[in-house]
Structures are given as C-alpha cells and as structure tokens.
Chain A
Amino acid sequence: MEEKRPAANLDLRGVICPVNFVKTKLKLEEMNIGEILEVLIDAGEPIANVPRSIKEEGHKIIKVEKIGGHFRLLIEKV
C-alpha cells in the first residue's frame, strides 16, 4: 500500500516527555483533518508515552517504523 504523504513533520529526537507530546499536539492542531504528520521520536520513554497520548487525543497512528535508535510515526489528524 502506498504510504500517505505527510503534510508536516517534526523531528522530536532528543526532546523529553511531555514536551514531545505537547509539540505534537500543537502541530496537529494547526493541521487539517485527514492530513498526515510525520514524527521522529526516541525509543525508551518517548515511544512508550507519546503514541498512547496521541491515541487518547483521538488521533490515528497509521504507521510505526523503527529506525535504529528512534521511531518514525505517521499520525493522521482526526
């Protein structure tokens, strides 16, 4: 399946919790429903917390990719 093209992206590597989530949330608020946000976050605490919080906000995580020591998330704004 063809990957949806991200409308925006955030590199949150090295950004601590919960700042990484807040930045993600703020970015999503600027975006239109259905658009995709690409986020890079660290393994460890960020990957344990951020997807959960995004999900609780009602957005959809459509792809999770592990690249070395970090993760690439594709989030669809709902």
Chain B
Amino acid sequence: MSTSTSSVTPATGPSVYGAPNTKVPLPPVTAQRYHVVCRFCNVSCGYDVFVFPVGEEGGPAKGQNAIVYNYIDNVYGYNLQGHYADYTQPLAPLSANPPTAIPWIGEGMVSKTVTYDETTGTWRPVYILEIPSSECPVNEGNYSTRGGRNAQRIWSPFHDNAAGFRIYQTRIKTPLIRWSGQLQPVGWSYVIEVLAQILYYYITNETFTYPDPVGPAGVEVMAIRSDHGGGMGGGMVDDLMPGLLLHTGVATPFIRPHNRAAFSAETAAIFDVTGGGFINNLSMLDISITDVMVMVGANEYATATINLIQHIFDNLRGVTQKRKATWFESGEPTPPGKAIVVDARPSETAHAVAAAVGCSLEQAMNGTCNVDSNGEPQVLAVQVKPGTDAELFNAVAAYIYYTYPDVVNYFINNVYQGSAAKANGFTFNMNNYNLYIQYLQSKSLSEWLSEAEQITGVSQNIIQLLGDMLAKPKMGSNGQQYYKRVLIEFEKGLIWSANYTAMHALGDLAVIVGATSGRPGTGIARSFGHQEGAAFPVPPPPPWYQQLGLPLNQGRVTWIPMSQYVPQQLQKQGMEVNAQNVISFIKSFYQNYTNTLVPQSHQYNPIVDYLVYSGYGKVLWAFTVNTYKQTMAGGKFVSTTNNRAQLLQECIENVLSLGVPSTSTSSINSSSPYYDVNSVSATIPNFPTPDQYAQAVISCLSGSNKTPGALFVVGSDVVLNQNGILETAAHVIIPNATSNGETYDLRWNGHDRRMRLVEPFMPPPGIAMPTVWVYAMIAYRIYQLLQSNGMGNSPQAQRIYQAFNPIWQSLTNNMKQNSQPLSLIPQFSENYFDYNWFAIYSDIWTYYLANGPANFSWWPYGIAVPLQFAPTSSTGWASVKLFYLMLARTIGVQLPILGATCSGAVCSPSELTKEGVMQACSQGGTITMYGLVNYFEPVLQSQFRVERITIDCNQAVTVGNTVLPLITRDVIYVTPDQVQSMFGYSYDDLKAAVVNTLNPFPMPYVGILAYASQQQSKYKYWVNNGRWNIIWQSGFVDFQVPEIYQRVPFAIIEMNAQDAQNEGLENGDIVMLYNDWGTLTGVVWISNTVAPGSLFVAMSFPTSPGANQLTTPTIDPVSDNPMYKWTWANITKVGTLPPEVKQQITFAPVQFNIPSSSSSSSS
C-alpha cells in the first residue's frame, strides 16, 4: 500500500483531506410528527415533519424509526397499510415512490434548531426533518428542488446550520419603527397603538360614505396584499386577516394582490366561457390518464414540477395504461399519453417532455417525435411569437372545424346538448357558438393557415399536426373510433401576455375539442404559480362608481365580459351582431387602448400602482409582498414609493430643514465662526411615544404639517432582508409567524384542488405572532378608540365588530392562561404559548370558511371563499370539523367538499388539541369525506366521479405518541339522484356550484398594446420573463440557503447562442439591459432555452430584482391584468466576471439529451 505523500497532489477546491462523513439523523419512534404541505409551488406536495431532541436519533431497522405510513390508495393503486421504513441497506433508486415507499432523507431535508418545551419551560436543541411523504397522492414521495430544501428555511440559532442561521438573522422578530436611520424594535403595544390611531383617523376623516351598512370608508388607505398562498406560503386564514381589517374594517376600495396591480381576475376569459370561477376544474387523476396533455405558457418543469415529473411523465411513459382502462370506455385504446407544449421559447419543459419519451427537442419541434400509426407525434413543441397565441388557437380551431366536423359536432350536439346534459339542465349558448363558427368560417382553411403562419411564426404543417393531435379520433382494435380526451393547462405565458383575448380563444378551442366535456381525462385549467387558499370579504367598489352610474352597494365590475358587452354595444349602435362586426369591434376596442393609453378596465377596477404614481393616498399597507421586485415597471414603483415614504419620514422626524441653509452661505467663507451655529445646535427629537408618533404621522399626512405626496407605509411580513419595500420605505413593520411551521393554515393545490391542514411544529422567532392575533388586536384597539370617542354605534364600529368579534371571542375562550398581558389590551396575552391555536383555528374554519358566505350576508359585497360549498349549515364544507383534516394528514380531501360523516369515539375529542384529537382516534371510529373530482362532469355526464377519503381509527397504527389512522382513498361514481341521500342537499344545489353552462365567443388576435408596443418599436430584444425552478417568488427564503445562493448569486440573463455571438458576448459577461422603464444589470448565460431575438430573465432573483426592472405598466383593458411578458430592451456590455467568481458558478447549457456513445473504457 503506497502511502508516499510527497508525490500526492491533493484535490483543489473545497476539499478537506479525509472528508468528514456526512450523515443525517433518522427520526426515533418518539419523535413528534406533523403533517404539512410544501412552502412553495402550486403542486403542494405532502411533507411529513419529525421533531426530536438532538441526541435521541432513531435507528434504521423497521420499527426503530418514525417513518411509518398507513394509507391505501385505490385510485393510483398502492397499499401502504402499516408500512414501516427500513433504512438498513442503502436505498434503491426511486425508493421513495410506492410501493417501496422509503424516502431518502437528504441534507436539504434536515434542520437543527431549538424549540420550546411548554412543560419544562425551556428551549432545547432539536432536529427537524421535513420529508416528502410517500403516502401523499400528490407527490408519492417525489419532490422538487424547492421542496426538497424545505427544512433549510427553518430558522435556527445554530451557526453550524448555515441556512437556518441566516434565515434566523433575516426574520423579522419584533415590531419595528423607522427612526434615526434605523429600524428600531418596539413592543406590540406600541405598534398596535400606532396603527390603530392612524387607521382610526382615516376611517373618521377624509372618508367617502357608502350606503349603509358600510358607511364612511377609509379611501385614503391602499393595500397590496397576498390574497392566497402568497409570500409566507399563506393560506385561507392568514390571508383572511388583512381582508377583514382592510376590506371591511377600513372598507377601502383600493386593494391589489401580491402579483398584479388591480384586484383583477387573472382568468376572466375562462370565467366567461364556463359561466363562473372554474379555473381549477380537473384532477391529477385526469392529468395522469388524459390522451393529450396540453401545456400552454406553462413551464411546468420549473413551475409545477411534480405535476410534470410524476403524473405527466407517468402518463407519457405508459405507467398509467391500466388506470386509463378503469375510466375509459370499454374497448377504448389506452396508449401512453401525448403532450403538446406551446410556448414562446424552448423551455425546460419542452426539452424534458421530449427527452422523457426518447426524443430530441428538434424532433419535438418538427413533429417527428415517435410518430404513431395515425401519423401523429407523441410530443409536439410549438414555439409561437410573443403574444400571438390567440391567432394560433383560432387557426387550429378552424383547421379542426374544417377537417373534423364530426368530432366538433359530437361534442356540441351529443355532449353539451346530449341526453345527459339536457336531463341535468345544462345550457349551451348556441347563439354565441354560432358567432364563433361564423368567425372560423370567415376565412378559408388555407387563408387561416397562411395568416397564422405569418403572425405566429408556427409553420402550417405544425398547426395542422396540432389540430390532428387534438381532434383526430383514436382507432380501437375493434374497428370503432373513440374521441380523444384532451386536457389543457395554461399559465403565465398566457395570463401575463395577451390574457383575455388569447385565453378566450383557447377556451373556445377547448370547447370544440371536448376539453370541457366532463369525461375522465379532460379539463381546462390554470397550472397556477403558488398554492391556493383564499378567503376575504370583497372590498367596496371605487367611490367614482356614482359618476359612472353604477351602484355603490352591489360589488364591483372586475372585468368586461365581452360576450355580453360587445353585442350590447353593437345593438346600441344599430349594428348587426355578426362575427365580422364583433371581431372588428373587439379589435378597435383594443386599438383604442393603445391610442389613449387609458385602459377602460381601470374605471371599474382601480389599478393601485396608477394611484401611487398619481400621488394619491395616505397609507399603503404591504402584507407579505415584495412589490419592489414583483410589480410592473418595478424600478419606477421603487422610486416613487421611496420618494413618497421619504417625504413622510423627513417630516415626522422633523429633519426637513437639516442641512438646508436658512441664510446666505457666503457668510461662512467671510465671517467668524465660519459655520452656522444654530444649524449645529439644532437637536433631533427623542424616540416618540406611540401617541406622539401617530400624531406626527397624521399631522404630516393631513394636518398642520401636511406634506403633499407623503405616504405612510406599513409592512407586515416574515423576512426583512432583500425586500426593498421593508428595508427602504416602510415606516412600521409587523413581524408575522409563518404558516409554514409556526401556525396553522389551510391550503389547496392546483391540478387537484386538494385541501390540507398545515400544522405548526415550532414557535415563531422573537415575538412574531400569527396574523390571527395581530390583526384582531389592531381591530380591537380601533374599536376601543371608536367607543371612547362616542362612536360605538357608528357604521365603522359595527363593521369592525361584525368582522372580528368571533375571533376576539375565540382568542378569549382559548387562552389557556394570561402570562403576558398585552399592556394596551390586558385581557389578551401577547405570549404565543398561552393560546390553544388549534381550537382557535377550528372556530375560524367553522365561522369564516365553512359557513363564510352565510355569516357574511350582512356585508353587501359578500365574502369570497373560492370553492366554498355549503348548501346548509351542516352540509358540504360545513359538515367537516377542522380536526377531520388534522387526521387526514397529507392526503386531505378534494374540493369542493361534498359531504362528510363521522361515527365513533373519534367524533368527540375531549379537547381540541392535537393530543386530544389523537387520543379520541385511538379509541376508534371512522370519518369519511367526499370531494369532487372534475367540475365539468356533474352536469354534462349521467354520473360523476367523487373522491371518498375514509379515515379509519379502528385500524390505526401508533408510533410513539403519534396515532396514524388508516386512510383509504377511492373514487366512486355518483348519479344526480343519489346526491340528496348521500349528501343531504339537492342536485340543483350542486349544479349551481359546478360548470352548468358553456359560452364560446369569437375572440381575435389584437396585437401588442400600448406602452409595450412602444418598447417593441424602440428596443431590440424581447425580454421574456418567468421563473427559475430553484428560485421561489421573490427569493425571500432562497438567498439564505448556501447552495441556492451559490447557484444564483446575482441576476442572470439567459441568451440564445446566436444572439450572443452576434453581440460578441460570452458566458460570464456583465451586461446592462435598458428601456424606457428601467435598467437591469446581470450576467450572461448562453442557454438553449431561449428563442433567437429574445432574452429570458427571471421575474426576481434572490439578491436582486429581475425582469420587472424593464416591464411596462401595460394593462389588458378588458380584464385589468398586467401584461408583464411584453417588454423589449437593448443590451450593452459593461464588464465581465472575475475568473475566480466565474469558476464558482455553472454556465453549462441545459441539455436533456445525450448523443449515445459507443465507446467505453474499463478500469
């Protein structure tokens, strides 16, 4: 054995001789176990969380560790009843997937931190593992690069946990007030008093009076707030709280969500086509069995990863063929699925989907990927020119109508107007459908094809192949033909692009190819960005509705429904309602926007950013958002808001005159003492009391020191650093507990509408509190101020009381002790541990969510709880108690909940705590919950699928102190006449809550609009923008994680190789992009996921803004949505990365195909 060291060259790089062995602790059976869903994307994978003391690790053999499952999935076909993980041998590949179901615990899944032991009153070090759940049907043990690092977003005081330590440093741990150039910590009483006084002022002054019961409303208050699954992960309860305070308590009309500038409906067009808010209408089961999976402007590899790599790949690779046979007609062919990727660039998804079936990207793009006996490829990647999708969909529809009229007529006549649909009372708008067909027939097929080729850049051959894949029937071996089952998911490539027109054209196409037919394997839905889970009272409409002749007490017009509006306007002008006039009207409507730059939608649904630029408003409330990175024309928004916030700060600190000479400065040069003594001697104010501070703010905004343009900015969030609105603008900052581990919440996912309860598994850092408490206390204090000023019976007091009293009561009833009375309101404790949070959330679930609409009937604009369904106070959602969801672990139930039953001891826990619930289950009983599988099915088909979740405590498995009931998932068929007996309400009740009408309407391509078209004519490169799979949203919990930071340490600009060559640019060059709306500096990465003539820039980078430095304030004038995807910029080189930095980061191009090599070498 040669050990001569003199000739040995050690490795370079981050190595240490004799590497320390890497190991992760296995959870012992005594670990505390919690169930959550991921912090990140719309797929909402299930994660099991284990918390155990450092030093008490478990062992690898079965029964020595806590990785135990107790679940039977009869839909996907796996049985994990009483399943114990065995880690004694290194795991085989894919062991996390059932049936092996042993998840490998990687480094990203482990955190070491502290938690608080309430019995002993001490903090102790623990390991927390956040492990993808093999039993969860969403992910089946799979995970993305985001979710696999969930544990690294847990705060930790240990500096050998680099990620956790940095998270801890960046978390907001106390309320903060900006003073003397710092953000200074204050207590809860201080910040609650300040905010209450200021909000009190603005609901009693400078108000606009709405009809009773709303009364005087705080119209000087504006809010940017995540409305569902936002920055913190969010969820129904977290996001309900600012809604209660601002939409109802303050009653301001000027609300916008986290990702767009107005309170708009991103998918208004699909609402119009389907007659309601049915944008999440299918299921992962449908995705896994569809014949044709269409992804439009949805880069699911990055944005819905597990949906793609688990369910879509299973379909394309033939894994689900048996499953298809269960749901398809007898004799119907069940080949591996096909995929169509429509995008403006060759995204990672296009690459991956092609490679998954053994094709190159080129084959996928030229239609030669795995061509079958029908002449159809298995994967087709269609690249369109930016914003031209409407033209593509209309051309494909025309091709289908001309080529497969029988297929179209089958859906129109035999499905939408077929016997089942007629019997169930489905309505199909034939008038509008006929207009649509008139439009398709207004050009010959060859005219359509050549026009579309010219506009979209897609060749005629590919357009036709696309139509064949969607509509050409399958041939069975029995000689019979079967209609294709088509499923469409679309996302921001459409939503932030041509939005209404393109989406409507897609919806129309979906109708004629039967994606809306309600058959298993069909649907048309968003892919989504983040998870869902919203509940909020709808805010009042803007005060100027009076001038528009619209009522002030009936809600707001959120978009212009064109299929009603256009015929109406034509008739007013005495014109015939035919396709030609409709199309021409729509085109000139949009052209008018480009000419005037005034989107008609704003008058109905105000664009809050426009108000900020206009100098409007006195208070801006930013709830868990990073608008500095995530709004259109972000640089301009930053500059404007900073300026306005600074005007206020200078005024309240009374520093406006500092450094400004009051007399001529020439005397300084000419006379002793050669400086201005009074300037030097002027002191600055002491840190104010809450009263002084609040009054100073009010005075500077509206009183004797009124400063035009000044704006008071409140931030309510979890992470401070890298959020410019907090770091540079906010005057007051509230620390929130995150609904990822520190408080309960409810979320549901895209693709499946599966709702889960997420459980807290550690305390929030510092004195951060759940929003339930924070907003309830602010509201309580405002209520006290109203009472003490003789306004206890005012409309303002009444609406605050109605909105919050159930929460005040629940906090009071479920306060175990009052160990730290909030000095401002001493009957409430400010100690997180004094509350029984599960009981409080149970009350909130029952009052505001399960029965929300009924309990908010006093509020004229209603409460929006998407997918809520409770025909009576004991049915639908209202038949579910929150602890049912606790016992349902990561499996949950699909929404809408159709019904639930409970029998046995489990139904009556002695106390509403996790321990009490498990104890009740350990004594036996069964809970059954029913959810809907597909929204199109109940009224279009003679029977519809229902998911049944059975929670059987009689077959529970106990691991340590954790009781795991046996959960079984089935999908059964239910007929309309079974609804009453199964669920306790009528079929008509259900019908009203699902798709019961279809309304196609012609919608043309209208070109690039307004500010965007100005940039297009001035600047060279189209700046496409979207997500990286490793970055989540603004990157607010990414920059702290070393491996993520290393991968994306600065802004990276992806370029096409040909463009880079033409510009003389190489990997690692530093470039500046610029246009009329801002500049962005970043590093070049030559990537083959970018189309020529364009760039790809992430919407945000962890340590820098991204594409929004360049996006424009262009808004869809029909739907009020920002058109972020449409911006153009020039590029100029400003430098190059130093070599030592360049070496640290990868510039390898994305490439999922390897040319096969015949050479090999032996060792």
A and B part of one assembly: no
Residues of B within 8 A of A (CB): none
Residues of A within 8 A of B (CB): none
